[in-house]
């Protein structure tokens, strides 16, 4: 096999990449809804994992699975024990999802390895393609769990004890589907980490830009707020004598619009009332709050404004309010040298690009705790994601993969 040099240009088998995206997208398909559902550690997720392993085996990769179920396929550099350049993402999905979120990044990693294999070029350091467990956090929380455990941010034994929304234990489900590996999480510490992803937002498409150079990710604060009031008759209880949990929840949710200023985003995605009857004042309201901001100080300020508002409502409305933290991740700044390398590759290949912030969480933000990391975005049509209408043109998908391959070649040429 030949060695890689800075001038080496490896051809990308774009059709193989697009075919694998389509085939993986058929696993867990729900034709009546036009989407697919591969919730982490379900039978559909197992089927997706099984297919990914077959593709890794076809490329003669060294496959390892760790105790949290993360999958690693490594193309070895002859006689070389250096830390790998890692390319990763995830293949689990939300319910009724599109075909690209996460999967594109994993399969583009395979496309990079395939380019080396087909050209007969030996990498100067190992290349590892990673598929992390439970990125979406639909069934088990927190989200980005596999990469968080890999980076040492969550103890693996604690993660295995996590109970899902369906009452299952995560460790039991890993065993059931055959993906409870023996590798200790974090054993493969990457030299550098790259993640290619659809934007999941409208910025690149609106601006007509082909490549997003992701420099940082927003901090994320998830809370569940529980309001306890008193149920009573809707027709006989005067307004000033009510302890209405539903009304208090509505006031808090409305106040979030005032909190969401200067770049802060605030969302209430779940709301439940009890007893949920038309003629009964709610005795209980439970709702979630998703706060995001790329600036840690602003995120903390938003959290405090929410806490102050809830305390004021509890006092004035005569209700009890309890807030439970579900997830808290600080903003992440990616490696500037790696981001500049992405921009340089886009320039070299003649693709337009812009530097940007990611509003969504990704496995890259966890791996950035232990290695230099950065992300590449391609446009999302209409900014749609987590939806069967999620779409990026084949041309743009291949554009992103070509940039990824070029970055890998340039970084390895320096090794």
Q: Cite the annotated binding site for Zn(2+) by residue number.
A: 90, 101, 136, 197, 386
Q: Give ∠ CA 376-101-172 in degrees, rounded to 5.
A: 120
Q: Give ∠ CA 189-143-201 in degrees, rounded to 5.
A: 100
What are the two backbone dihedrals, phi and then psi, of residue 210, each rounded to the nearest 5 degrees? -85, -35
- On the question of a cis peptide bond just before residue 131, with omega within 30 degrees of 0, the verdict is no
In sequence order, which ranges of 136-259 are alpha helices (DSSP H)?
Answer: 145-150, 156-160, 170-177, 203-207, 245-259
Asked if 415 contacts 205 with a C-beta cutoff of 8 angstroms, the reply is no
Residues annotated within a binding site? 90, 101, 136, 197, 386
Torsion, Cα 172 178 181 185, to 10 degrees, reads -60
Smallest CA-to-CA distance from 370 within 130, 137, 205 is with 130
What is the distance between the alpha carbons of residues 216 and 110, in angstroms, rounded to a whole number? 25
Per-residue H/E/C for 70-122: CEEEEECCCCCCCCCEEEEECCCCCCCECCCCCHHHHHHHHHHHHHHHHHCEE
Asked if 59 contacts 117 with a C-beta cutoff of 8 angstroms, the reply is yes
């Amino acid at each position: 096999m030949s060695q890689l040099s800075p001038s080496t240009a490896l051809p990308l088998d774009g059709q193989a990449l697009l075919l694998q995206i389509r085939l993986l997208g058929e696993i867990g398909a729900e034709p009546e809804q036009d989407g697919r559902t591969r919730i982490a550690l379900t039978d559909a997720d197992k089927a997706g994992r099984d297919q990914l392993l077959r593709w890794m085996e076809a490329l003669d990769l060294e496959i390892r699975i760790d105790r949290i179920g993360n999958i690693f396929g490594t193309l070895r550099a002859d006689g070389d024990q250096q830390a790998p350049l890692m390319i990763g993402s995830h293949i689990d999905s939300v319910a009724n999802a599109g075909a690209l979120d996460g999967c594109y990044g994993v399969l583009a990693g395979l496309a990079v390895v395939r380019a080396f294999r087909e050209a007969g070029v030996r990498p100067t350091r190992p290349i590892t393609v990673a598929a992390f467990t439970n990125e979406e956090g639909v069934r088990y929380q927190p989200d980005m769990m596999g990469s968080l455990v890999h980076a040492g941010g969550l103890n693996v034994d604690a993660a295995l004890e996590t109970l899902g929304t369906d009452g299952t234990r995560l460790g039991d489900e890993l065993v059931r589907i055959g993906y409870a590996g023996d590798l200790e999480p974090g054993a493969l510490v990457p030299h550098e980490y790259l993640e290619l992803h659809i934007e999941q937002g409208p910025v690149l498409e609106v601006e007509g830009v082909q490549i997003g150079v992701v420099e940082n990710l927003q901090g994320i604060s998830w809370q569940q707020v529980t309001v306890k009031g008193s149920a009573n008759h809707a027709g006989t209880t005067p307004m000033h004598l009510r302890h209405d949990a539903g009304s208090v929840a509505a006031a808090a949710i409305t106040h979030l619009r005032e909190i969401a200023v200067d770049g802060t985003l605030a969302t209430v995605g779940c709301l439940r009332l009890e007893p949920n009857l038309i003629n009964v004042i709610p005795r209980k309201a439970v709702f979630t709050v998703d706060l995001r901001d790329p600036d840690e100080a602003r995120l903390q300020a938003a959290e405090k404004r929410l806490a102050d508002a809830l305390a004021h409502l509890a006092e004035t409305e005569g209700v009890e309010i309890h807030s439970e933290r579900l997830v808290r991740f600080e903003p992440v700044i990616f490696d500037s040298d790696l981001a500049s390398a992405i921009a340089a590759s886009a320039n070299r290949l003649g693709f337009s690009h812009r530097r940007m912030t990611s509003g969504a969480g990704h496995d890259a933000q966890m791996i950035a705790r232990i290695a230099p990391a950065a992300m590449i975005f391609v446009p999302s049509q209409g900014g749609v994601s987590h939806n069967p209408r999620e779409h990026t043109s084949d041309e743009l998908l291949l554009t992103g993969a070509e940039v990824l391959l070029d970055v890998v070649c340039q970084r390895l040429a320096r090794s």
